[in-house]
Structure 1
Amino acid sequence: MSTNKSITQFSFRSQKELTIWDGYPEFKAVNNFEKPDTTARMFHYSRYGHVYAYSTNLSVKVFDASTMDKLCEIERANVIDFWLSPQGSYLATWERPTKLENGAGSNNLVIWDTKTGQEIAAFSQKAQNNWNFQWTDDEKYCARMVTGEVQFWESKNIGKSVWARLKLEGVAQFSLSPGKAPAVAVFIPEKNGAPAIVRMYSIPNFNTALSNKTFYKADRISMYWNDLGTNLLVLTMTDVDKSNKSYYGETNLYYLAVAGNFDCRVPLDKEGPIHDVTWGPDSKEFVVVYGSMPAKATLFDHRATPVFDFGINPRNFVKYNPQGRTICIAGFGNLNGTVDLWDRKTLKKINTFAASNASHCEWSPCGRYLLTATLTPRLRVDNGFKLWHHSGTLIYEEAVNELYQIGYRPEPAARYPMRNVSPPPNPIKILPTAGGGAKAAAVPTGAYRPPHLRGSATPTSLSDRAAALDGIGRSPTSQRRVVGAKSGSSNANNKNGKKDVPSPKPQAQQPVVNPEEKLKKIRNLEKKLRQIRELKDKMAKGEELAPAQQQKVTTEVAVMRELANLQL
């Protein structure tokens, strides 16, 4: 694994393989990761990225995410779900409950020490929803919900006598806050005409609530803490909209301060459902996407006052980059995948592009790259992922058959200082096409697909691709081949160069280019690059580019690749 701290890391899981890659500019598998021999069921990073774990039908394996050294292996064949504590010191597993001979339920919720793999506590937990333990950020305390109460332990004494109890009749949900002064928020649904309640308490002072908010129209809720743990957004949902304005029920958003000195209903001036909400990394503002389609996106300050309107568009997703400089507002799922990138400092739109069929989206920890992915079973064709520079340029694309899960290793944003919104690194790392001077296939969107990932229409395994990315050219179980990938937007095959894999179709002979024509092409490509860089300079200064100019910028990688081949 690379020791370069500027290189981010991400993992992805397909039907056939689980792997971990270095991010930009490497885009290759790490060398010392112990891949599972059988199909992986899921993987997780701990909240702060210290630990990585995956499960199979045989066991759960836990690794140090920095070194990829195996910490432990928990041999349990029936793990349905698992979760890691924030610092990665503990792991909780949940299995389907079974009845013992005496009629009691099995201890199917188990807590493990990730350093030793030792079981340290076990409980009976029938329901899978709300099953997992929650820990405070520093892992000093942990909690779980049982009927009528939330039980707390000091983490060093999990499974021993309960340290503290928060007894509340009808409690249905709880959430521990992040931050240095942890609080707990609890939700009690409506019952017999009484309103629903959200209360917040300081841990472990449960005699008096810090904050108390009652409301109707709340069958269930989602809770969104800011990173400091000082404020909470509560999204309330009903199963049925009694006004018959929405098929999906009714939603409302409430703002609560842990200090108890302020709470309100967030003023949303467009009727319809709330699609997404996110806090800014500074914990002082948040963005809400709401209303019947096309939806509205609004920025609110720390007192829930609207301060900026991003406009009305078919969007249902919003996310700040970790540094808080760029905001992604997009339309995924049943929408067309359009992504808007906004500069938070100037509140001007940077770019708009299409991430068609995307069902997953997240920022890299460095805040400079946006990952979009098409996952199965949400969509069973065109599975794979794309990396976009924060200026909106597509810089990498990889097709992955039956891609189930993908995610970055979390890292502190402070490791990657906030930078101005700028064009992609110049020059982007471009290599000539494999085969010595063969003409590169045109990529209509300017997507960066390294040469070793072009050349074959036959999808290959991830191990083949990883071997090619490492410069090896072969995997332990396959002959050498030019690794390729077919994406939904383009077919980046090398149609003229030689292939190491037999093809049923005859290959066209590489046309001979005389020196004058070659020199003329080089000059034309260099001219295009100068024009593109001028446009990127304008973009960096905040100027709005016409659609044709934006399209020209996206061709930079294809132009650079073609130039690299001609200069061989």
Structure 2
Amino acid sequence: MSPNEWEKTQNQREVTYKCPQKWQDVRGSDGTRLLDGPPTYQEHAAFPRDPHPCRCLTFSRDGSLLAWCNGKSVSVARTSDGSSVATLELPKTTLLEFSPLGNVLVTWQPYTKSADAAQGEPNLRLWKLPGAGPLKAFFQKKAEAWCPSWSADEKMAVRMVSNELHFFEDNNFDVIASKLLVLKVSNFELSPGSHPGKVCVYVPGSKGGPSLVRIFQYPNWGAALATKSFFKADRVSMLWNNKASAALVTASTEVDKSGASYYGEQTLHYLNVGGETALVQLPKNGPVYDVAWSPNSSEFCVVYGFMPAKATVFNLKCDAVFDFGTGPRNAVYYSPKGNILVLAGFGNLRGHMEVWDAKKYKQVSKLQAENSTHFSWCPDGEHVLTATCSPRLRVGNGFQVRHYSGGVAHAHETPDGAELWEARWQPFPEGTFPERPVASARPGGEPAATPALAYRPPALRHLPAAPTSKLHEEEAPQNARGPDKILSKAALKNQKKREARKAAKQENKPEAEPPSDPAPVARPSETGGDPETDKKIKNVKKKLKAIEELKEQQAAGKVLQKNQLEKMQKEEQLLDELKHLELHSL
């Protein structure tokens, strides 16, 4: 199970912190509290601790409101001064959410029936803020896809009812403004941004037919903007980019029929609103652990393949832009500004984290957070939060705040007998914090993070390390090799080809003529009598020489531009072209 899935399944408690401009929230068995964040980490004076165990908690999207249920009631308060906005007598509430502008609070409690109400009572309720007057009540038996989805301006909302999508406008839930009727639709994802929006829907395959994902534009339901069909899908997850111009679909099966993986099988698909679709070609076989869009909406990163897993950045043409090599990782997180990327290994891995400059593709630091069940970026794009929470792990509960460049800024261990259920940062409106240059040194002389160890299965951890075992091998990033010139498998293969060609040329080199004969000996590989072919050979050799110079610059530590990296990727193609031209020049 991925870290994102752990967060969604934890109906536990939270804690909140506040930095001079930013906050966090934490809940646990000892109650709920709001804390200041870096650099003080003190309980926030305007928000007294609620000592009662908290069932659930959430912030509004801009962070101005906080709602929580302590098993007695649902409370809504302003984070600025702790003043009460509303109190609802809903002690069984287990899920809470705000609409994007904070005008509506949504509560959900498990569906039940009673002798007095054979059909049960509505368990999904919408409340108008401020004041929390009742807005609408629905029956929602399953917690899956329980909350309506809104456009960013709240002009449109949508929820799925009996395999139909019902659309509402201006928070008027008494009138269905439009319906999207797609036979057997089982999941959907509303695009980010303002009204009118787009919606991505999933229809499972049946009777041997393929599964379908389609993109529609509200409210023009006649023709889909894009359609992608595929097999091997028991479930899918759909992920829009921030500009709502494209979506990624991860299709998964429960069982891998080949027996190669207990994760099942996964495939990754791409769709854009212009109608283009593609299967994302992943160079290494194995599970797709995680995928994330860059906030710039023009790139996405995928972590995939049997351990040690690969991580690759792709562009909107689904072409590989940068390969990070392999390592013990199963998750990827972009910073809020998209200038930093973290590759991490949680769960059955040991909390190894690699921090990368996402623009220069240069590694910034390595961090270690063993037994973590949660990771999140602070809205300032400078700090990260890792936590060990119950019920995923019931021992060693606590959290740590780090600067991404290394070192622990603050750590908290939950006292014996207590549990930490959730920790999260307070969100802030986009643009609140400026983008700062990526730091390469640890601030304030913080100690270096302990280097992460390579992943070893539990059954082998009592044995001495075996560096020659393939299980522990890690490929260096393809386009970011340091001065030690660690070569990837592909680069090593190309190097062997070049050495073989050089040796062959030396063996075929004609012996020197006697000094009395001044006529030069022409080599067939250099000229074949056809001026046009000779010209092409010369041009290809010129390109190969330029690639060699780029490789030397990269080995010396110089950061190359994207077009230079793309030029280097054509080396093997140019070598094949040169071989073809030389053969035809004989």
1:40 aligns with 54
Q: Return the TM-score normalized by structure 2.
A: 0.70
Deviations 1:211-257 (A, max 9, x none): 11111111111111111221111111111222222222111111111
> Which whole-Å deviations, capped at 9, do the CAs of 1:385-435 have from their partners, x for residues lacking one?
11111212222211124111011111234222211222344478xxxxxxx
Contact 2:53/2:70 (<8 A) preserved? yes
Partner of 1:410: 427
Task: Tell me the residue number matched to 1:178.
Answer: 192
The one-letter code sitting in structure 1 at the alignment partner of 2:207 is N
In the TM superposition, what is the alpha-carbon distance from 1:104 to its structure 2 partner? Answer: 2.5
CA contact (8 A) 1:173 1:186 kept: yes
Match of 2:165 in 1: 150
SS class of match (1:229): coil
Match of 1:123 among 112, 124, 138: 138
- Specify which of 323, 326, 330 is matched with residue 309 of structure 1: 323
Alignment of 1:160-179 (within 5 A): 160-179=174-193
User: For 1:238, which of 241, 244, 253 is the aligned residue?
Assistant: 253
Change in Cα spacing, 1:54 to 1:129, as seen in structure 2 (3 Å) is same
1:105 and 1:381 map into 2 onto residues whose CA distance is: 39
Aligned AA for 1:267? Q
Is the CA contact (8 Å cut-off) linking 1:341 and 1:392 kept in structure 2? no
| Structure 2 counterpart of 1:320 | 334
Residue in structure 1 matched with residue 576 of structure 2 by the alignment: none
How far the C-alpha of 1:384 sits from its partner, in A, is 1.0
Residue 77 (structure 1) shift? 1.8
Alignment match of 2:295 (pick from 281, 293, 300): 281
In structure 2, what residue type is equivalent to 1:209? Answer: A
Rounded to whole Å, the distance in 2 between the matches of 1:96 and 1:378 is 22
> Unmatched 5+ residue regions in structure 1?
429-442, 447-541, 545-568
Residue 358 (1) aligns with residue 375 (2): no
Give the AA of the match of 2:226: S
Separation in 2 of the partners of 1:342 and 1:64? Answer: 36
2:148 corresponds in structure 1 to: 133
Give per-residue Cα distances to partners, 1:420-455, cap 9 Å, x unaligned: 222344478xxxxxxxxxxxxxx9979xxxxxxxxx
The amino acid of 1:154's aligned partner reads: E
Map of 2:286 onto structure 1: 272
Q: TM-score, normalised by structure 1?
A: 0.72
After superposition, give the CA deviation of every residue in 1:119-149 in whole Å (9 maximum; x if it has no partner). Answer: 1101112222122211111111111111131
Distance 1:50 1:302 in 2: 35
Tell me, in whole angstroms, the C-alpha distance in 2 between the residues paired with 1:264 and 1:444. Answer: 42
Quick check: 1:205 aligned with 2:220? yes
Question: Which residue, 114, 123, 127 being the options, matches 1:108?
Answer: 123
AA matched with 1:138? D
CA distance in 1, matches of 2:273, 2:33: 41
SS in 1 for 2:171: helix
Deviations 1:519-558 (A, max 9, x none): xxxxxxxxxxxxxxxxxxxxxxx999xxxxxxxxxxxxxx
The answer as to 2:361 corresponding to 1:347 is: yes
CA distance in 2, matches of 1:408, 1:102: 41
Q: Per the alignment, do residues 57 and 5 of structure 1 end up closer, same or farther by CA in structure 2, a change over 3 Å counting?
A: closer
SS in 2 for 1:79: coil
Q: CA deviation at 1:300?
A: 0.8
Point out the more displaced range, 328-337 or 135-144.
135-144
Aligned partners of 1:51 and 1:87 also within 8 Å: no
What displacement does 1:337 show? Answer: 0.6
Q: Tell me, what secondary structure is at the counterpart of 1:414?
A: coil
Is it true that 1:53 corresponds to 2:67 in the alignment?
yes
8 Å CA contact retained: 1:112, 1:119? yes
Following the alignment from structure 1 to structure 2, what is the Cα–Cα distance between the partners of residues 255 and 222? 12
User: How many angstroms apart in 2 are the aligned matches of 1:277 and 1:67?
Assistant: 38
Q: Is the 8 A contact 1:366 1:413 kept in 2?
A: no
Distance 1:34 1:205, change over 3 A: farther
Q: 2:211 aligns with which of 175, 178, 196?
A: 196
Aligned residue type for 2:153: D
Partner of 1:481: none
Once residues 360 and 106 of structure 2 are traced to their aligned partners in structure 1, the CA distance between those partners, rounded to angstroms, is 44
Residue 264 of structure 2 aligns with which residue? 249
C-alpha separation in 2, matches of 1:140 and 1:49: 21
The structure 2 residue matched to 1:420, chosen from 426, 432, 437, is 437
Distance 1:38 1:389 in 2: 32
Q: CA RMSD in A?
A: 2.3
Structure 2 CA distance for aligned equivalents of residues 141 and 280 of structure 1 = 26
Task: Give distance in 1, aligned partners of 2:380 and 2:81.
Answer: 20
Q: How many residues of Structure 1 are paired with residues of Structure 2 in the alignment?
A: 431
1 or 2 for the larger relative contact order (CA 8 Å, sep ≥6)? 2
Counterpart of 2:240? 225
- The verdict on how the C-alpha distance between 1:348 and 1:170 changes in structure 2, with shifts beyond 3 A counting, is same
Aligned partner of 1:214 among 220, 229, 232: 229
Aligned match of 1:21: 35
Alpha-carbon spacing, 1:72–1:59, altered in 2? closer, same or farther (3 Å): same
The question of whether the paired residues in 1 share the 8 Å contact of 2:19 and 2:39 is answered with no
Instruction: Tell me, yes or no, if the aligned pair for 1:42 and 1:405 is still in contact at 8 Å.
Output: no
Distance 1:32 1:307 in 2: 48
Counterpart contact for 1:370–1:388, Cα < 8 Å = yes
Report the residue type matching 1:23 in the other structure: G
